[in-house]
Structure 1
Amino acid sequence: MLDSGALVGFVGVSDLDRAQVFYGEQLGLTLSDERPFALVAEVAGTMLRITAVEDVAPVPYTVLGWRVPNLDSAIDGLVARGVTFTRYDGMEQDVRGAWTAPGGSRIAWFLDPDGNNLSLTEFADTI
């Protein structure tokens, strides 16, 4: 039933101006302004609604992630735009902050200004 419907992703933020800088300028997404409710991006055919919420409740797991063909290049590009990648105690990560999963996929995590956990993944089938 829903397998033919277009997927829409949501991420809650407390400040749309701050989110516009982060998601638009730092991550490089083209945003449509639907204030006072949201900013909207089309990302590879999927709509992402960056939605204003009164109380953001960050969680310890990834809420939004991107599949990238070259993780090192993607990390370097975002670091150049001011994004800081997260390091986790007890997790073996390389100099860029990337972790290699047992199956060979490589993942790196970073937070948006509200503490939403975001990720980049280079899947093993593309390495």
Structure 2
Amino acid sequence: MLKDHPVDVVLLSKDLDASREFYEKRLGLDVIEATDTAITYSSGNTRLKVTASTVGTKDEQTQAEWRVLDLRAELEELKHRGVEPENYDTDELKTVDGIADQGDAWVAYLIDPDGNALGIGQAK
């Protein structure tokens, strides 16, 4: 049964070199496997695969989200690595210092070099 097996997140990239710099250097993920067409990273007990694409991501919704225990601490670490969370001020989403209150969780969003929206969430 599928429910008994892990599932990997797969993101599309038009520039694997830029993606590699972002995910390894900026986010600090470890490479499990790398080929000319894909890079697979370790993140907790899951894997994130970035795959070469000629079109990249066409969707603006969140493609992947990390669940963390201390969102502010994670954002501080990312800021030291040169990554700033996105800021929003819309009817649907408003952030303060890059963090949105989603009712049951606090969430921050990052955008990778290919426009993939990445979330980081902390349950309340």
TM norm. shorter chain > 0.5 = yes
Q: For the residues of structure 2 that align with 1:58 and 1:89, how far apart are their CA atoms? A: 22
Q: Deviations over 1:101-122 (max 9, x none)?
A: 223x100001000110001000
Structure 2, gaps ≥5 residues long: none
Provide runs of 4+ in structure 1 moved above 4 Å: none
If the length of structure 1 is used for normalisation, what is the TM-score?
0.89
Identity %: 28
In structure 2, what is the equivalent of residue 61 of structure 1?
61
Count of aligned positions? 122
Q: Deviations over 1:46-104 (max 9, x none)?
A: 12111111110242210011011100010111111111211122233222x1011223x
- What secondary structure sits across from 2:40 in the alignment? strand
- What secondary structure sits across from 1:63 in the alignment? strand
- What secondary structure sits across from 2:78 in the alignment? helix
In structure 1, what is the equivalent of residue 82 of structure 2?
82
| Bigger shift: residues 110-119 or 37-46 | 37-46
| Bigger shift: residues 109-118 or 51-60 | 51-60
Q: For the residues of structure 2 that align with 1:115 and 1:58, how far apart are their CA atoms? A: 8
Contact 2:32 2:41 in 1 (8 A): yes
In structure 2, what is the equivalent of residue 102 of structure 1?
103
In structure 2, what is the equivalent of residue 28 of structure 1?
28
